[in-house]
Structure 1
């Protein structure tokens, strides 16, 4: 999969565009009233990481790139972003069909240099949606999406054609 294909799947920037596909289920709110991620009005965006992922070795490359592009952020927050990205990628590599890719987009407003990121992991298994606290692999597994839910401000799934994108939004400040 070309990196340009991944960039085309990113959340909209400040335009009125909407993501392709429809939500399979609403983002899992941490508190009532939380809504799925929408960039702040007037937010600027930039793609921080965009690459195809074919193995767990690629996950390490993604983590290193994230560490590099988020070097000015709180180290604990960077570790949380790395963890959420790793969980989403591990699910796609273990349970889904290719293609698999990741795009991490940063959003900034006039007040912040970089205030939020949206992590998107695309895979070729539209019919397989993430499950909370349930695993088909083993009884001691299935906690990854619980971590994603706890660490992100919102998350969800978009389907488009024969693919799906699992996304998570996170505040950096």
Structure 2
């Protein structure tokens, strides 16, 4: 049975560090504190930043979910602006933004998007090496 950690934050940039801290804590609680934790936390930072920056639904909340199942970690960031799917860009050298999805692609084993009836979700998958797969306690 997978372990799941889910939380929501308001769509405002000042809440991105809160999301980053929640992700880091959830991973630490699962015993993931190495380079994988850094990659997942940075990916969460980029995906949450995109969600809070581009969501056009007023008073929306961004949902962040982490799912750990055997040797795979899945990060999902969802928001209610379902018709605005993220598209990777090739920003110019002088542009300050536009590199987040390229960074997520470099940090993850795979990533993508899906649309639900009322939300869009951007997901990222990370494979845990067998030696680093945590043993999870289940009731």
C-alpha RMSD over aligned residues: 2.1
| C-alpha distance in structure 1 between counterparts of 2:99 and 2:39, whole Å | 15
Q: TM-score scaled to structure 1, two decimals?
A: 0.62
Equivalence for 1:97: 56
Q: Which runs of 5+ in 2 are unaligned?
A: 130-139
Q: 2:9 aligns with which of 52, 62, 69?
A: 52
1:96–1:124 contact (8 Å) kept in structure 2? yes
Task: Describe the SS at the equivalent of 1:166.
Answer: strand
Q: TM-score scaled to structure 2, two decimals?
A: 0.74
2:4–2:66 contact (8 Å) kept in structure 1? yes
> Offset of 1:134 from its aligned partner?
4.2
> Offset of 1:78 from its aligned partner?
0.8
What stretches of structure 1 move > 3 A for 4+ residues in a row?
A: none
Equivalence for 1:152: 108
Q: Which runs of 5+ in 1 are unaligned?
A: 1-43, 110-114
Q: Deviations over 1:92-122 (max 9, x none)?
A: 111112423233233233xxxxx32211111
